[in-house]
A and B are shown apart, each in its own frame.
Chain A
Amino acid sequence: MEAVMEARRKERLDRGIKVRTDGIYAVSSWREIAYLVLPRLLLIGGLLMMPLLLNQAPYWQRVVSIVCIYSLLAISFDFLAHFVGLVSLGGALYIGVGAYIAALLNTHFGLPSWVTVPLATVLGGGLCTLLLWPCLPLRGVYFAIVSLMFPLLAARIIEALDVFGGTDGILGVDGFSSKWVEMYVLIAVVLLILFGLRRLVNEDLGLVFRGVKDNDQAVKASGIDVITIKALGVFIASAIGCLGGAMLSHLYMWAGISQFALDFSIIPIAATVVGGGGTLAGPVIGCLILVPISELLRDFGTLRIAVYAVILCGFIVFKSEGLMVYGSRKYQQFERWVQI
């Protein structure tokens, strides 16, 4: 008996407009320019509008700021994981280091927030890079494990030695002059870093980063020191995280050991899974979805972790590519079933 099996496969073809607009010189009509610009404008405009739309809900305006801080972490995770090839579980380390440095500079030296935040970004990035340096020559899971260990260690050390305010944390950090400054500075920073990194990964230096991810042996054979390149990647990623941490300490007017909490390591990874890894914009979209959900579920207490887990499992099983990859495929390609 011949089994009647219709073998089908999905054929995907790039839309004409996608092919035409791949080269920058091909952009010659408003339609094509709009095709390129609209998705970007949607994200930029959406983010910029959010504080205004939520003017009646001050609580949710604070959530906008938190979304932005998680977005910074998620972008930095995505950059390190998908463009340098290092899986970092150290989001909490970056946030904690950035928060403590900004808080110390502010309370001890009386520096204003527009000085402490950039300083905490650079110093924190440097410190995190130094801490993670020993595992850069290794391949495999070591980087992930060590980066997971540091935030736990830091919290215990601060607790045990009672330094930096011990379990109380550092109180009396200056806040921002207004909630509008707070929100729009964060949104601007997220957008700048998002589009800046998207540019970087296609520049020559970015190609070297991607080379390290694809094949570090070949990079070595090309006369480039892989450890230096990895360190530079870690510096960029951890500085972005520390920037988020510094903003967070000014936001809460406080820095404490809960800023070394594992949430800062885990939620960005979940957001990257939901949004789509390797896209940089995807993790931001992931944060826009996951962080508000986590706020909504606050009433359920610890049960929200379960809901979170279900969402994450659903995405991993059914749409492991992530929203951004799925969306851009639908946007750029025709799909149709063809007989084999």
Chain B
Amino acid sequence: MSQETILKLSGVTKRFGGVQALTEVDVEIHRGDILGIIGPNGSGKTTLVNCITGFVTPDAGQVVFQGRDITGWPPHKIADLGLTRTFQVMRPYYSLPAYKNLIVPLFSRRARRTGGWRGGGRMGDRNTVAVDILEEIGFERDSYVPYKAASSLPTGYLKRLELARCLALRPDLILCDEVFSGLSMSEMASMLPLMEKLRQEGVTLIMVEHRLRELFSLANRVMVLNFGAKVCEGGSEEVMANEEVKKAYFGSEEVFEYV
């Protein structure tokens, strides 16, 4: 795997009023990595995602994506560079059919430049490209599912739709904010190969997760956050063995064992 750095955070800090959400987070992600970010509730995972994607401006620190300092850029410009995200709380366009949801990203400047995923959007027929993307991500093309209103789709499909919205931009890096949460075991099992496929295609992934088993099977590196600060970073075994992590994250589980 190449060692080219795609995203570099240095000293990213954010506070909301009196709450220190992030304290000097440094991390470096190489192209083709799958970085897992874990941590207890309220540890600043989603704030970190927001800081990287421009939805929140960090108070201090730097976010460098592909050699460009994107700190404080508006979200649409960051997405235009190829850094996209999914939302933890799914944000589809409920009034539109599922495949029409993808017309919006396919309409963006980036998709028009790159043609969208697999370059199909260059031909101009966004509807076909949208259904193509949905098919690859697990919507059965011949069923009625891609044509149903997004408001009537179950969680599993909405999570996929979130991912599809990112893919439509032909991204270099996707930040997945809890794509596995709320999914059944079988839904999760069908998502895993999809993520693996994305990695093989050279898409870098950052995954914020609570589902550790699924995450560890994918991620080649894991970062642990607690109270907005980085506790440690490394391979999954390395992280699991770390005493600090056990204290911060698995402390409750240890107690549970003694009961």
With a 10 A CB-CB cut-off, give which of B93, B94, B110 has the most chain A CB atoms.
B93
The reply on B228 being an interface residue by CB < 8 A is no
For B94, what are the chain A residues with a Cβ–Cβ distance below 8 Å?
214-215
Q: How far is the CA of A225 from the CA of B107 in the complex (A)?
A: 11
A–B pairs, 7, beta carbons within 8 Å: A204-B107, A214-B95, A215-B93, A220-B76, A221-B53, A221-B76, A224-B76
Contacts from A to B (Cβ < 8 Å) = 204-205, 207-208, 210-211, 214-215, 217-226
Q: Do residues B103 and A207 form an inter-chain contact, with CB atoms below 8 A?
A: yes
Q: Report the nearest B residue to A211, measured CB to CB.
A: B104
For A205, what are the chain B residues with a Cβ–Cβ distance below 8 Å?
107
Residues 58-87 of B, flagged 1 when their CB comes within 8 A of A and 0 if not, give 000000000000000011100110001101
Pairs of residues from A and B, 3 with the lowest C-beta to C-beta distance, nearest first: A223-B79, A222-B105, A223-B108
Q: How far is the CA of A188 from the CA of B19 in the complex (A)?
A: 60
| Chain A min CB distance to B148 (Å) | 14
For A224, give its contact among B95, B107, B166 (CB under 8 Å): B107
Q: How far is the CA of A218 from the CA of B75 in the complex (A)?
A: 10
For A224, what are the chain B residues with a Cβ–Cβ distance below 8 Å?
76, 104-105, 107-109
With a 10 A CB-CB cut-off, give which of B84, B101, B107 has the most chain A CB atoms.
B107
For A225, give its contact among B74, B87, B96, B106 (CB under 8 Å): B74
Q: Do residues B126 and A221 form an inter-chain contact, with CB atoms below 8 A?
A: no
The reply on B92 being an interface residue by CB < 8 A is yes
Q: Do residues B165 and A218 form an inter-chain contact, with CB atoms below 8 A?
A: yes
Q: Do residues A210 and B79 form an inter-chain contact, with CB atoms below 8 A?
A: no
Q: How far is the CA of A339 from the CA of B224 in the complex (A)?
A: 56
Do A208 and B103 contact each other (CB < 8 Å), given the known contacts A223-B109, A225-B74? yes
Q: How far is the CA of A14 from the CA of B250 in the complex (A)?
A: 55
Q: How far is the CA of A220 from the CA of B80 in the complex (A)?
A: 10
Q: Report the nearest B residue to A217, measured CB to CB.
A: B91
The reply on B176 being an interface residue by CB < 8 A is no
| Chain B min CB distance to A62 (Å) | 39
Q: Do residues B87 and A221 form an inter-chain contact, with CB atoms below 8 A?
A: yes
Q: Do residues B104 and A220 form an inter-chain contact, with CB atoms below 8 A?
A: no
Q: Do residues B92 and A218 form an inter-chain contact, with CB atoms below 8 A?
A: yes
Residues 101-134 of B, flagged 1 when their CB comes within 8 A of A and 0 if not, give 1011111111100000000000000100000000
Q: Do residues A207 and B107 form an inter-chain contact, with CB atoms below 8 A?
A: yes
For B79, give its contact among A207, A214, A215, A221 (CB under 8 Å): A221
For B100, give its contact among A207, A218, A225 (CB under 8 Å): A207
Q: Do residues B165 and A221 form an inter-chain contact, with CB atoms below 8 A?
A: yes
Q: Do residues A214 and B93 form an inter-chain contact, with CB atoms below 8 A?
A: yes
The reply on B98 being an interface residue by CB < 8 A is no
| Chain B min CB distance to A141 (Å) | 22
| Chain A min CB distance to B224 (Å) | 26
For the complex with contacts A204-B103, A214-B92, 12 further pairs of A-B residues with Cβ separation under 8 Å are A207-B93, A208-B107, A211-B96, A218-B91, A220-B75, A221-B84, A222-B165, A223-B84, A223-B110, A223-B111, A224-B108, A225-B74
Q: How far is the CA of A211 from the CA of B93 in the complex (A)?
A: 6
For A207, what are the chain B residues with a Cβ–Cβ distance below 8 Å?
93, 96, 100, 103-104, 107
| Chain B min CB distance to A155 (Å) | 36
Q: Report the nearest A residue to B75, measured CB to CB.
A: A220
Q: How far is the CA of A225 from the CA of B75 in the complex (A)?
A: 8
Q: How far is the CA of A214 from the CA of B101 in the complex (A)?
A: 11
Q: Do residues A218 and B104 form an inter-chain contact, with CB atoms below 8 A?
A: yes
| Chain B min CB distance to A231 (Å) | 14
Q: Do residues A220 and B55 form an inter-chain contact, with CB atoms below 8 A?
A: yes
Do A215 and B105 contact each other (CB < 8 Å), given the known contacts A220-B74, A222-B79, A223-B111? no
The reply on B222 being an interface residue by CB < 8 A is no
| Chain B min CB distance to A182 (Å) | 38
Do A226 and B104 contact each other (CB < 8 Å), given the known contacts A210-B96, A215-B93? no
With a 10 A CB-CB cut-off, give which of A205, A208, A224, A225 has the most chain B CB atoms.
A224
For B91, what are the chain A residues with a Cβ–Cβ distance below 8 Å?
215, 217-218, 221
Q: Do residues B93 and A218 form an inter-chain contact, with CB atoms below 8 A?
A: yes
For B93, give its contact among A204, A210, A226 (CB under 8 Å): A210
